[in-house]
Amino acid sequence: MNNTFNARRFGFLFRKTLLERPVQIFGLTGLILTIILMIYFICKVFFGFGPAQNISFIWGLAGGGCFLGSFMFSYFNSNASGSSYLTLPASVFEKWLSAILIAGILYPLLFLLFFRAMDAGFVALYHRGLDATSPLYKIRYDQVYLFSYTGQIAQKVYLIFFMFTGAALTGSLYFNKNNFIKTALVFCVVCVLAFGLNWLMAVMVFGEVRDAAPFHYVEVTVGTGEGEINLPQSAFDIYGIFGDYFFPVLLWSIPFIRLREKEF
């Protein structure tokens, strides 16, 4: 018997994962998509299409993925369900893969399809509502367009999604109860520490600092003038590799190691 991966057994596990807690998985996904629809609509009314698309895309993909990710290993909030999960005859790899498949592949795919349909619907409604005889028709028509999945914002959101969801998956295996809240708190503490330490170091090196972002730039005041010191490109590239690849891969790999070593 293959103790690492068996397609038939993985099929059973995947089916069990989806159908054992349908309210949590399907209900939560449905709720997230409904909330995103509402956010899009409200933001469109108050701020216009651009902010509506950006805000709902960020919250839907990164926020929703992160929230769903925190449920993937939420068996450990009781002794009975935790024991049942860990002693279920499936390999650690299969259990990890099952969670990754749902939170990291199926949910984003479903969200992207939903978002495209929702966005296309609202944009089409807007275009249809325009007066085609108006001299401003062309300008107004071109003002609103579909959100680009390959644009700069989308690419940043993909990265945030991978970081946040990976952190949520990892956190759910370290915190048995209220894992989402505890992981979010740890994340906030790490961010505050990173910015705080960066600021402290910038002040120590440059004196008067107006603004500073870790691994990015420092704005300093020199006499009556102001200037921005950026991280050298070569150093920024190294940071980019860590931020774009190393940390997300690390955050999605830790759950596998943690699941293998988890005692309960």
Partner 1 sequence: MIQIQHLSFGYNKKKLLYKDLTLTLQSGSIYGLLGKNGAGKSTLLKNLVGLLFPKGGSIEVNGFDPRKRQPSFLETIYLIPEEVYVPALTINGYQRLFSPFYPGFDSAKFTSYLEQLDVKDEGKLNTLSFGQQKKFIIAFALACNTKVLLLDEPTNGLDIPSKMRFRKLISGIFTEDRMIFISTHQIRDLDNLIDRVIIVDEGELLLHASVGMIAEKLCFKTVNEIRDPADILYKEESLRGISVVIENKHGEESKVNLEHLFNAVTENPEKAKAIFQTRKNS
Residue ranges binding partner 1 (CB under 8 A): 1, 3, 6, 9, 12-13, 15-16, 19-21, 23, 78-81, 83-84, 86-92, 94, 260, 263-264
**SS3 track for the chain:** CCCCCCHHHHHHHHHHHHHHCHHHHHHHHHHHHHHHHHHHHHHHHHHCHHHHHHHHHHHHHHHHHHHHHHHHCHHHHCHHHHHHHHCCCCCHHHHHHHHHHHHHHHHHHHHHHHHHHHHHHHHHHHHHHCCCCCCCHHHHHHHCCCCCCCCHHHHHHHHHHHHHHHHHHHHHHHCCCCHHHHHHHHHHHHHHHHHHHHHHHHHHHHCCEEEEECCCEEEEEECCEEEEEECCHHHHHHHHHHHHHHHHHHHHHHHHHHHHHCCC
Nearest approach, Cβ of residue 17 and partner 1 (Å): 9
**Least Å from the CB of residue 15 to partner 1:** 7
Is the CB of 101 or the CB of 123 nearer to partner 1? 101
| Shortest distance in whole angstroms from residue 86 CB to partner 1 | 6
Nearer to partner 1, 86 or 201 (CB): 86
CB of 68 to partner 1, least distance (A): 18
**Nearer CB in complex with partner 1: 165/179:** 179
Q: Which is nearer to partner 1, 9 or 140 (CB)?
A: 9
C-beta closer to partner 1: residue 24 or 134: 24
* Residue 18 CB, nearest approach to partner 1 (Å): 10
